[in-house]
Amino acid sequence: MIEQKVRPEVRPMARPRHGGDVWHYDGIKDYSSNVNPLGAPPRLEEYIMEAARDLHNYPDDTSSQLREAIARRYDVGAENVIVGAGSAELIRLFPEVFVSPRDRVIIPCPTFSEYSFACQLMGARIIEYPLPFDNDFSLDVAELMARLDGVKAVYVCNPNNPTSRMVGRRDLLDLVQEAERKGTLVFLDETLLELSSRSDELSLVPEVEGQDNLFIIRSFTKAFAMPGIRVGYGLGSREMIRFLEAGRLTWNLGTIEQRVATRLMENEQEHVARAVRLLEKEKGRMQVGVEKHLGPVPSPHSYFFFAPLGDLGVSSSQFRTAMLRHDVLVRDCSSFGERCEGYSRFCVKTPEKDDEFLVALGLAVEEIREGRH
């Protein structure tokens, strides 16, 4: 009986799968999630204990101090900022506020699966835009712009997850402006951009006040290596943020999340900058080691690899299993769609950790080639 009461959009849906599932393994080296390789800032525990003194009060429903800290960081107004329990809450909130049943939404594929999931829950018609296999899955912005007629929203992840491809700032701005002419909203995910040396060059955050149709999300998860404390934030025009705030869950961020994130935004930007410098240097060395075992792989635009497994003759799931035998967790990319069955995603960390990864990779590849997988 209960199934008959469920909304038809929900009945056939399966939850998205993600990386970082370390809870079922002991002593695992997690290369499946893309977070700051230096770990959380050393003062994180201090910030948590400081915030814990005020747990007897309800949290500030407006997250005013955190929003002001984010606004100062990006030189925008606090009215241009909304915060959520991770960027995942904002991914869900955006279609809840702006997407109606049967609205057409364009989502490039492969990309982060939560976009489609959130839009399908609202009854949207998902129009998949396949990223070209023969160009390392790079986004053709001109072709995407030609498809915007009658579209409520278009999603772009920059750099894209899982492909590690970036889109140039001028191309993105052209897309936003063409979308505005067509009456289309642009959801731009920059959560993986902050650990890139090109973050300031590529980000569209400076454009949010002048572009009513643009909404950008970022997150504390990646930059500060704190996925266990759920804090994300979005930036948009005052009008857009006003409507998103109207649909937001009450008390969506607890006191600890607000206080800790505020301290991180105010005090720990150098921690992020150190990680950016490390990753920029290390990813080239890492690529040399990876190609020694897997053959040529596309140079990552970001700090993670989307590596083809074709020469090994194994699926993404089988490769993950082979690496697990050496206590390394990589991302099974089959959940990104059939075209990703022959790829694996793994991140870049410190030289010491990456050396251990490359040893494990060599052993796993040797076993696969010998038929012992």
Whole-number pLDDT of residue 84: 98
Whole-number pLDDT of residue 20: 65
Sequence-distant (≥ 6) Cβ neighbours of residue 222 within 8 angstroms: 34, 35, 36, 191, 192, 194, 195
Helix (H), strand (E) counts: the chain: 14, 12
Q: Are 69 and 80 in contact (CB under 8 A)?
A: no
* Cα-Cα-Cα-Cα dihedral sign, residues 321, 327, 330, 335: positive
| Domain extents in the chain | 2-40+270-369, 44-268
The residue among 3 and 232 whose pLDDT is bigger is: 232
In whole numbers, what is the pLDDT of the chain averaged over residues? Answer: 94
Whole-number pLDDT of residue 23: 73
In sequence order, what DSSP letters do the residues of 216-249 get, joined into one string? EEEEHHHHHT-TTS--EEEEE-HHHHHHHHHHSP
Any idea which of 55-59, 247-251, 259-263 has the lowest mean pLDDT? 55-59
232-236 and 81-84 strand pairing: antiparallel
- Within 13 Å and on the Cβ side, how many CA atoms surround 297? 29
CA atoms of 131 and 2, how far apart (whole Å)? 39
Architecture (CATH level 2) of domain 44-268: 3-Layer(aba) Sandwich (3.40)
CA-derived radius of gyration, the chain: 21
Q: Are 37 and 356 in contact (CB under 8 A)?
A: no
125-130 and 153-157 strand pairing: unpaired
Locate 40 and state its tokens. 């959380």
Helix (H) or strand (E) segment spanning residue 144: helix 141-145
Any idea which of 15-29, 75-89, 345-359 has the lowest mean pLDDT? 15-29
| In the block, residue with structure tokens 């107004």 | 77
Locate 328 and state its tokens. 């390394």
Locate 237 and state its tokens. 């025009």
Give, in words, the CATH class of 2-40+270-369.
alpha beta
CB atoms within 10 A of CB 125: 15
Please state the rounded mean pLDDT for residues 108-116. Answer: 95
pLDDT at 341 over 80: yes
- Within 13 Å and on the Cβ side, how many CA atoms surround 257? 26
Please state the rounded mean pLDDT for residues 56-85. Answer: 97
pLDDT at 139 over 70: yes
Q: Could you report the per-residue pLDDT of 12-27, keeping only the tens digit for each? A: 767 777 766 777 778 8
Whole-number pLDDT of residue 15: 74
CA atoms of 254 and 85, how far apart (whole Å)? 9
Whole-number pLDDT of residue 5: 80
> Side chain identity at 110, as an amino acid letter?
P
Whole-number pLDDT of residue 135: 84
| pLDDT class of 310 with cuts at 50, 70, 90 | confident
Q: Could you report the per-residue pLDDT of 164-174, keeping only the tens digit for each? A: 999 999 999 99
CA nearest neighbour of 334 among 126, 141, 113, 149: 113
Whole-number pLDDT of residue 153: 99
Kindly report whether the peptide bond that precedes residue 12 is cis, defined as omega within 30 degrees of 0.
Answer: no
Whole-number pLDDT of residue 330: 97
| In the block, residue with structure tokens 């921690």 | 271
CA atoms of 26 and 327, how far apart (whole Å)? 8
| pLDDT class of 179 with cuts at 50, 70, 90 | very high
Whole-number pLDDT of residue 22: 72
Please state the rounded mean pLDDT for residues 119-133. Answer: 95
Q: Could you report the per-residue pLDDT of 36-65, keeping only the tens digit for each? A: 999 999 999 999 999 999 899 999 999 999
Whole-number pLDDT of residue 2: 80
pLDDT at 134 over 90: no
Percent of the chain surpassing pLDDT 70: 99
Helix 114-121 vs helix 86-98: crossing angle, to nearest 10? 40
Q: Could you report the per-residue pLDDT of 191-221, keeping only the tens digit for each? A: 999 999 999 999 999 999 999 999 999 999 9
Residue 156 bridge partners (DSSP): 188
